[in-house]
Amino acid sequence: MELRKLLAGSALATLTVASLAPIAKAQPVDGLYVSAGAGLNLLQDTIINPSPALGTPKSSAHWDAGWRGVAAIGYGFAGLGLPIRVEVEGDYFNNHLDKVITGAAVRGGGYEQKYGAMANLYYDIDTAQFGLPLPVFPYVGIGAGWLDQQVNGFNVSAPGTTYPQAGTNGADRGSFAYQAIAGLAYPIVSVPGLSATVEYRFTGLLDPLPAVGGYTTNAAGVNTHEGNVKFGNDLNHSILVGLRYAFNVAPPPPPAPAPAPVAAPARSYLVFFDWDKANLTERARQIIREAADNSTKVQYTRIEVNGYTDTSGTPRYNQGLSVRRAQAVAAELVRDGVPRSAISIQGFGETHLLVPTGPGVREPQNRRVEIIIQ
pLDDT digits (tens, 9 = 90+) for 130-140: 888 888 889 99
Give the DSSP H or E segment for 113.
Answer: strand 105-124
How far is Cα 287 from Cα 370, in angstroms, rounded to an integer?
A: 11
- What is the pLDDT at residue 74? 96
**Residue 232 CA neighbour count, 13 Å, CB half:** 12
SS3 327: helix
pLDDT score of 158: 61
3-state secondary structure of 10: helix
Whether the CB-CB separation of 10 and 241 falls below 8 Å is answered with yes
Q: pLDDT-based confidence at 157, cuts 50/70/90?
A: low
Cβ distance 91 to 116 under 8 Å? yes
Output 169 or 262, whichever has higher pLDDT: 262
Distance CA 113, CA 204 (A): 13
Share of the chain above pLDDT 90, in %: 30
Host H or E run for residue 326 = helix 315-335
More confident residue, 90 or 213: 90
Going through the chain in order, the beta strands assigned E by DSSP cover: 30-43, 46-50, 59-63, 66-77, 84-101, 105-124, 137-156, 171-187, 194-205, 212-217, 223-231, 235-246, 267-272, 303-307, 343-347, 368-373
Q: What is the DSSP letter of 110?
A: E
Q: Quick check: 274 pLDDT over 80? A: yes
Position 15 confidence tier, pLDDT thresholds 50, 70, 90 = very low
Closest among 150, 76, 64 to 108, alpha carbons compared: 64
**C-alpha distances in Å from residue 55, one per residue of 67, 164, 185, 203:** 34, 15, 52, 32
CB neighbours of residue 100 within 10 Å: 26
Is pLDDT above 90 for 143?
A: yes
Domains and CATH numbers, the chain: 2-246 (2.40.160.20), 267-373 (3.30.1330.60)
Q: Give the pLDDT confidence score for residue 93 in this predicted structure.
A: 97
What is the model's pTM?
A: 0.61
Task: Rank 30-34, 255-259, 262-266, 297-301 by mean pLDDT and report only the highest.
Answer: 30-34
In degrees and rounded to multiples of 5, residue 121 shows phi and psi of -125, 125
Q: Side chain identity at 113, as an amino acid letter? A: Q
pLDDT tier, 183 (very low <50, low <70, confident <90, very high otherwise): very high
Rounded to whole angstroms, the Cα distance separating 350 from 279 reads 18
Give pLDDT, residue 264. Answer: 61
Convert the pLDDT of each residue in 292-312 to its tens digit.
888 777 777 688 889 898 888
Backbone angles phi, psi at 81, to 5 degrees: 80, 15
| More reliable by pLDDT, 110 or 327 | 327
